[in-house]
Structure 1
Amino acid sequence: MATDAVVLPVDGPSGTREVRISSPSRVLWPEPGITKLDLAKYIVKVGSAFIAANGDRPVSLQRFPGGIDGEQFFSKNPPKGAPDYVRAVTVTYPSGRSHPQVVLDEPAAAVWAVQMNTVVFHPWPSLAGNSDNPDQLRIDLDPQPGTDFDDAIPAAIALRALLEEVGLTAFLKTSGNRGIHVFAPIEPTHEFLEVRHAVIAAARELERRMPDQVTTNWWKEERGKRIFVDFNQANRDRTMAGAYSPRALAHASVSCPIEWDELENVNPKDFTIETVPERLRTVGDPWASIGDSPGTLDTLLSWWQRDVENGLGELPFPPDFPKMPGEPPRVQPSRKNAANWDGDEKSEKSEKSEKAAKSD
């Protein structure tokens, strides 16, 4: 039977592999008319930088069989028939359950993921060989309604200075949408809960310094027109779109690493599947040195302990997480009343309502 499949040669550490792309003319992004083959070719062009940023990590694949406007689902473990150059590592999820998860070690593996209709790549902040201990501190600066990317810029600059104070070197990238992602390499000596506490400590300190511009309030109704520091992205099995990953947005944007001196002059919409390869060729990879000088969390964890001693403890976890030690009850402030609140535990009603109150 005739087929319109295309075979792409993909260079990598083991030589050139040939990766078959079926349905290459399938349109994934209708507005710019970008096809599955276009996406595969994009990954080939940015392959080295993509793997440097996202390789050797457990990764979740966000797959869109019919394009970005159609059905989507997340895939974590390698499906049957995965090539031998796509491996898996067993990781532990918040429930305590363990399961194998995909690891990408070379550009051909990422192109294979595109063949499986992957559009967005979500790498863990830990390496495959030590998945319980992150080697990256990740902070998501998320503009709330009434704010945008430009409002997140001062927060990012202040956050960089704050992290420098505690001995961490900050790298940044656009989220691919309106937000800014700030990463800092760390020594992989603390498990996820401790890294979460370090992120909360940094977020609270940033909020103290910029109370009118930054918030750590988990509940949307309390955030106002401020930049939300999404501390829950630091949890186990919570991920952000990886560096150089496309996003499932109409203009085919990319979560793109940038230099700090570019921040105040960039438009995140300019970084797309069509433009980023040439940028990478001419400007280079701003994240090329991200793993060179990892820092420690000692100071941030001392700030966390200071805040705990001053009465500031744990913050809410995502609704699908088990109840965590020291966590405040999960109920929206506006629903905290005698009908659904006993002061210590959630009622059945509040347990249901929390599922409708997830953060963006």
Structure 2
Amino acid sequence: MASSKDAVVLEVGDREVRVSSPGRVVYDATETTPQVTKLQVCEYVAALAGPMLAALHDRPTAMERWPDGWHEGMRLATGPRDPDADGFYQKRLPKGAPDWISTARITFPSGRTADELCPTEAGHLVWAAQMGTLTFHPWPVRRPDVDHPDELRIDLDPQPGTTFADVRRVADTTRELLAELGLRGFAKTSGNRGVHVYVRIRPEHSFEDVRHAAIGLGRELERRDDGVTTAWWKEERGERVFVDFNQNNRDRTIAGAWSLRARPGAPVSTPLTWAQLAEVDDPAALNLHTVPERLADGDPWAGMDDDAHDLAPLLQLWETLPGGELNFPPDYPKMPGEPPRVQPSKKVAAHWDDAGNRVED
């Protein structure tokens, strides 16, 4: 590691990555964790580059950037026209990026395109961290074929009134269901209160098919556990764990494996074996300070690429379980068969026909 005035240069593989303002505080100290500087974030990413690249390699990846670090009260932008936000998603590679940073061209639901960071080496990740990236948000596709996902992502999102123990229970039921169908799931914490379960799949289906597979799985989980819901509208979810099927849409991403999260204590979205997950009581204990030492026992996601599964069993659940199509996010165009995008408590039956179309007065 070489240093220069007000900067540090990290040697990352064959690259030298300049880290400006290395002493900037990115995370404040908490009762249980010391403060974290920008240099420590970059060093964390460099140290975990191997397993991070195993999860991110060749995937278009949005950067969740916090240029001034993350501190209590800071806010993530809700859209491109939110100038008062402190953090934001960088979906297009910023101007001035080094010419050795690789990209992939992706297409948004609107039809617009962007050249997005596509990590292929450790230096790419450390450069992104130097730019203030805390969380990497990879697409479920790889650069050779950006229109056909090779990952099914099951986002188990605890609703108010639920505990992490509830999420663990639902995650284990998910593991059992997948195993019954001949599929192997891999778990990680979200870095907050949730759990993500990944399944490697053959890249031969559309985003819509993968989303339907997630709905089918969610509906079977609802049948097995009354603490699970696929209700899109928050007012209908109750104190249950929500299977967020819409995270499998085009341009929807979740925190990448080993990514830091913008929360107190520098928590990490941490891959775990199923046995390890069963022992986690407080996911906040998995953070920048504790996670690197866990890798001494190996990468819990090693072997994920050994088998690419067929989605047919989950699509069969989608076809056979009742319920039909569910709502898409509000920024999506109206999709075929989609229910009305009206909060149930605000829907007046007389204003809608049986097909879910609004009837003009």
TM over 0.5: yes
Which blocks of at least 5 consecutive residues in structure 2 are unaligned?
75-85
| Pick aligned residue for 2:107 from 76, 81, 92 | 92
SS in 2 for 1:240: coil
Distance in 1 (CA, whole Å) between partners of 2:177 and 2:238 is 23
- Over the aligned positions, Cα root-mean-square deviation in angstroms equals 1.6
| Pick aligned residue for 1:313 from 324, 328, 353 | 324
Distance in 2 (CA, whole Å) between partners of 1:227 and 1:38 is 34
The CA deviation at 1:81 is: 2.1
Q: Note if 1:334 corresponds to 2:345.
A: yes
Q: Note if 1:123 corresponds to 2:138.
A: yes
5 Å-filtered alignment, 1:286-297, equals 286-297=300-311
Cross-structure match for 2:190? 175
Distance in 1 (CA, whole Å) between partners of 2:152 and 2:37 is 34
Cross-structure match for 2:259? 245
| Pick aligned residue for 1:276 from 288, 291, 298 | 291
The CA deviation at 1:99 is: 1.9
Q: Could you give the per-residue CA deviations for residues 90-126 of structure 1, whole angstroms, max 9, x where no partner exists?
A: 1111112222111011111000001111111100111
Which blocks of at least 5 consecutive residues in structure 1 are unaligned?
349-360
Distance in 1 (CA, whole Å) between partners of 2:222 and 2:203 is 26
5 Å-filtered alignment, 1:106-121, equals 106-121=121-136
One-letter amino acid of the counterpart of residue 342, structure 1? W
What is the number of equivalent residue pairs in this alignment? 337
One-letter amino acid of the counterpart of residue 23, structure 1? S
One-letter amino acid of the counterpart of residue 56, structure 2? N
One-letter amino acid of the counterpart of residue 83, structure 1? P
SS in 1 for 2:175: helix
Q: Does the C-alpha gap of structure 1 residues 321 and 347 become closer, same or farther in structure 2, counting only changes over 3 Å?
A: farther
The CA deviation at 1:338 is: 6.1
Cross-structure match for 1:78? 93
SS in 1 for 2:305: coil
| Pick aligned residue for 1:222 from 231, 236, 241 | 236
SS in 1 for 2:199: strand
Would you say the 8 A contact 1:232–1:317 is kept in 2? Answer: yes
TM superposition score normalised by structure 1: 0.90
Distance in 1 (CA, whole Å) between partners of 2:108 and 2:183 is 27
Would you say the 8 A contact 1:167–1:296 is kept in 2? Answer: no
| Pick aligned residue for 1:134 from 149, 174, 184 | 149
5 Å-filtered alignment, 1:20-169, equals 20-31=18-29, 32-69=34-71, 70=74, 71-169=86-184
| Pick aligned residue for 1:19 from 17, 20, 34 | 17
The CA deviation at 1:346 is: 5.3
Distance in 1 (CA, whole Å) between partners of 2:220 and 2:25 is 45
Distance in 1 (CA, whole Å) between partners of 2:292 and 2:152 is 27
SS in 2 for 1:21: strand
The CA deviation at 1:128 is: 1.4
Distance in 2 (CA, whole Å) between partners of 1:10 and 1:294 is 31
Cross-structure match for 2:81? none
Distance in 2 (CA, whole Å) between partners of 1:90 and 1:126 is 12
The CA deviation at 1:274 is: 1.1
The CA deviation at 1:89 is: 1.2
Would you say the 8 A contact 1:330–1:346 is kept in 2? Answer: no
TM superposition score normalised by structure 2: 0.90
Cross-structure match for 1:354? none
Distance in 1 (CA, whole Å) between partners of 2:358 and 2:43 is 50
Moved more, 68-77 or 215-224: 68-77
One-letter amino acid of the counterpart of residue 21, structure 2? S
SS in 1 for 2:320: helix
Cross-structure match for 1:357? none
Moved more, 267-276 or 254-263: 267-276
The CA deviation at 1:342 is: 3.2
Q: Could you give the per-residue CA deviations for residues 186-219 of structure 1, whole angstroms, max 9, x where no partner exists?
A: 01010100000011000001111112x1011111
Q: Note if 1:189 corresponds to 2:187.
A: no
Cross-structure match for 1:198? 213
Q: Could you give the per-residue CA deviations for residues 42-68 of structure 1, whole angstroms, max 9, x where no partner exists?
A: 001101111111121000000011111
